[in-house]
Structure 1
């Protein structure tokens, strides 16, 4: 079977599919009517894009800032002022992931029950308060407590948003949208450096408050405000009532699009789907991809300023020099994700960017040249960040059923966050300025991402081929019409996996 046919079968329903199922086969089904419905869908997608994506990007930007600004605060004197000793700083980094991991699955199961707008607004306000409290801590215990609850409440946005997006978009629309809002995390790295530079240069000692404390204050207050606004601005689900921003025709089309993609189950929780998600080999291979990513990401986001400083730059200059790697990564995230949606290929793209990240770590390990090492730091960012939307979209594409998709996304992210703890521990001050151990560990794990993606793609390709040979090409356009879809999920003979 040709690659084009294989890609077509792994996509979601197209505009033509919706038209065919919506309109009766009569002479009244004219070209003008088809164009009218096609135009309506394009208008609907644009409306969803404008309402959802920019807002989610801003929310995730704040999430990334509040999660990682401790790395910038460290260069401003946090350790000295809080009298941190031994492993205190690394414990504060690690404890964040404890809270973040524990509440992954509960958050993804609750978000649909309590409405995304309420759940996201509530958790965002709460993590903003936790972030703000870091500015007023005076010892290690206070900092560690704030970091734990910061991780707990950030689950309301982190793992929940990919699930919410899967109810609004088709399979071949998802990666780019996930990339746009996740790409804001790369922007956060750039903003963090710029904000830290400005705050430490101009506000250190203002009103008797140390500059590193101002970093937390300046970045936490907007989070709380945006959290409150989310209650009004953030849409819920296509089937939710009172969608005044959609016309009745657009709302009906949005519901039809999500049902045709397999979002048909009405139950809040399905035990069979829960077990199916936990026992699905595909999900565990995706865990391998995300584990490799998160070890590298967990270290990169909080230690990049330190790594750059130890190349021989002053602390303030290191804050500024942490910006270009994130800018480059942000551009590549959008480009790679757009091409992934266009070709409906996830595995090859993950293999490609993980190889780029591995090359970056090799540069950091093999050379004493500041220029080559800084280039390596840029390549690492370009290799790490595109994997995030590609993996989450891949997992979402290949799960049917709300509970199964919710648990699969949470499972992949949750276990990977456990291993992100490794990333917070591998870079030690005493290993500077080369940080050989940290770079070597991250090189091994980013390689794991590429290998896991390769194995997963081979298995999915083999299964698609088996189903084609056994049952023939998949010709069902509306997954909601399939018998036994609510019990077989993605094991249904007419379902084809995204590769």
Structure 2
């Protein structure tokens, strides 16, 4: 029988788990942006959670501090969840496909929250080994899925680059605005942070102004007297009547 004092003590012990989750989310986000690899960095949170579950399963009940530390480590598991949410918007193209993937993701999340508590049965107390092993297996599957997504996206980017490099390849007009899925559109590139960094460097290099050196001055030339310049109004600065300017403003909206 659990007393009210025991319930309050359990809540008190579980409170630092939220702080651990926040620290891992912020740290994985920072490291993912620093090393330009958000997918692989997010998997470290799930690997940390696997270590925590292993501590809970392997340590005896008398080792309260070790099992409590394992519980705190399991709170790092939401980091891949946040990463995969961003991948839905960046790595899935096509209106119907993107809507379907988002709906399936939400449905799977809800189904997991419904099934998960059912694995902790009263007859398995106090260690609840079947339920904890189920969590451990799900975490391992999540790590495999994350790694598969990363390497699959890299391979697809290489294959699409080869398609675009073929001599007979022709890009359709406004192809990026067509309602094509990411598999159908050869111009679609799956978002990986290292590729984003490379593209930023290329764009930055193209945007740098090319300064031309001034022509060398000839000391033997004599300065000619400058004639007063005539200020003429260029054709693009001509003023329009109020009616025409308002009509032009309406046409630009």
Instruction: Give the distance between the partners of 1:346 and 1:414, measured in 2 at CA.
Output: 24
Compute the displacement of 1:346 (Å): 3.5
- Report how many residues are paired: 181
Compute the displacement of 1:402 (Å): 4.1
- 2:134 aligned with 1:441, yes or no? yes
- Map of 1:345 onto structure 2: 37
Compute the displacement of 1:465 (Å): 1.0
Instruction: Give the distance between the partners of 1:347 and 1:464, measured in 2 at CA.
Output: 16
SS of equivalent residue, structure 2 residue 178 = helix
Is there any run of 5+ residues in structure 2 with no aligned partner, and where?
A: 166-172, 193-253
- Map of 2:52 onto structure 1: 360
Answer yes or no: is the 8 Å Cα contact 1:361–1:376 preserved in 2. yes
Which runs of structure 2 are paired with 1:233-252 in the superposition (5 Å)?
A: none
Provide, for residues 409-439 of structure 1, a one-character-per-residue CA deviation record: whole Å limited to 9, x for no partner: 1212212322332211111233222121111
Answer yes or no: is the 8 Å Cα contact 1:399–1:490 preserved in 2. yes
Cα 1:417–1:348 shift into 2, 3 Å: same
- Map of 1:486 onto structure 2: 178
- 2:2 aligned with 1:318, yes or no? no
SS of equivalent residue, structure 1 residue 487 = coil
Instruction: Give the distance between the partners of 2:125 and 2:25, measured in 1 at CA.
Output: 30
- Map of 1:453 onto structure 2: 146
Provide, for residues 144-183 of structure 1, a one-character-per-residue CA deviation record: whole Å limited to 9, x for no partner: xxxxxxxxxxxxxxxxxxxxxxxxxxxxxxxxxxxxxxxx
Compute the displacement of 1:456 (Å): 1.7
- 2:85 aligned with 1:385, yes or no? no
SS of equivalent residue, structure 2 residue 179 = helix
Provide, for residues 454-497 of structure 1, a one-character-per-residue CA deviation record: whole Å limited to 9, x for no partner: 1121111111111122314xxxxxxxx83264232323222211
Cα 1:351–1:484 shift into 2, 3 Å: closer
Instruction: Give the distance between the partners of 1:396 and 1:358, measured in 2 at CA.
Output: 28
- Map of 1:375 onto structure 2: 69
Cα 1:486–1:397 shift into 2, 3 Å: same
Instruction: Give the distance between the partners of 1:454 and 1:440, measured in 2 at CA.
Output: 21
Cα 1:375–1:336 shift into 2, 3 Å: same
TM-score, normalisation: structure 2: 0.64
- Map of 2:227 onto structure 1: none
Structure that is richer in helix per residue: 1
Provide, for residues 284-314 of structure 1, a one-character-per-residue CA deviation record: whole Å limited to 9, x for no partner: xxxxxxxxxxxxxxxxxxxxxxxxxxxxx82
Instruction: Give the distance between the partners of 1:411 and 1:392, measured in 2 at CA.
Output: 12
Instruction: Give the distance between the partners of 1:427 and 1:360, measured in 2 at CA.
Output: 18
Superposed CA RMSD = 2.3
Instruction: Give the distance between the partners of 1:356 and 1:394, measured in 2 at CA.
Output: 22
Provide, for residues 105-150 of structure 1, a one-character-per-residue CA deviation record: whole Å limited to 9, x for no partner: xxxxxxxxxxxxxxxxxxxxxxxxxxxxxxxxxxxxxxxxxxxxxx
- Map of 2:157 onto structure 1: 464
Instruction: Give the distance between the partners of 1:486 and 1:338, measured in 2 at CA.
Output: 34
